[in-house]
A and B are shown apart, each in its own frame.
Chain A
Amino acid sequence: MTAEIIVVTSGKGGVGKTTTSASLATGLAMAGKKVAVIDFDVGLRNLDLIMGCERRVVYDFVNVVHGEATLKQALIKDKRHDNLFVLAASQTRDKDALTQEGVEKVLDGLSEDGFDYVVCDSPAGIEKGAHLAMYFADHAVVVVNPEVSSVRDSDRILGLLASKTRRAEKDESPVTQHLLLTRYNPARVAIGEMLSVKDVEEILGIEVVGVIPESENVLTASNNGIPVIVDATSQAGQAYSDTVARILGEERPLRFIDVPKKGFLQRVFGG
């Protein structure tokens, strides 16, 4: 039994890769899967903060690759879910600390330990770290904002997923691509200020697997170190739950993509 490898990537920075990795990994764990989530952003560790385990990092990904710690020592067990583990990025090492062979060894080790899913949180850009995060992937979640530079970069990433991955190089079935639209603001879309779900789907030629509305709960969740998917009352949390269910093969309609209907007073006086 081999673990399914999911890379969360985007090209552009600041679009919500780490927020998505944390919620995706937590959501898969909530569905009963054994999950590891790995931070590939060597030098700029952040997944630990979003997962709320920053004070429990002893060994990191690079330590395991270099044989300075075992996988078991480096995996940090989640506070809320027994079947969810975090592998932090190294803070101090140089960018060349990760190698393709080293990453493969860690992923194989996780498969042997009975993990169902490994979520790889990619760094921004298309350099080595991003390349290694996507290389072994079976699935890719491409995070995109409804904004020109993000859409263009994600098209570039979709191209790399189709050519620079192990599946592409070995002529196996291609990496399954999932487009996740985040920071979506239905009110701004309605007045023509923001690209719509349909616009982004048409430009990139791929359907979205989920739409996460722009939400203050995302900042609150990161302040608290609790993945936003845990907050079942928030729209962003519910949208992430839907997304995880769709990745697991369930069919669910998109929610929170239209402006809520206005009441009578709002219709008369605006606002």
Chain B
Amino acid sequence: MTTDSSTLNASEAELAQLVVETLNLDQAAADIDPDAPLYGEEGLGLDSIDMLEISLTVSQRYGVKLRADEENNVEIFRSLRSLNAYIQAHREP
């Protein structure tokens, strides 16, 4: 277990890699700040098409459905870390 909050744990690193590949980001997966905002101008600067793409990929890879009627989407998609926490809590065993 790492204590440094800016480094990725194993499952976060896997998700970061998936996001980078899916969206063809010019950024190494290891360089993503897990707490940086995903959506909007700051942080990773993703738009709503990117968010759709991530939700489709996550559903394929982890079997976790991200739905629009989920009220906590802003929280879930806040950062790589929060998205990963949601996936790990809901993925099929």
Are chains A and B native binding partners rather than an unrelated pairing?
Answer: no
Binding site for A on B (CB under 8 A): none
**B-binding residues in A (CB < 8 A):** none
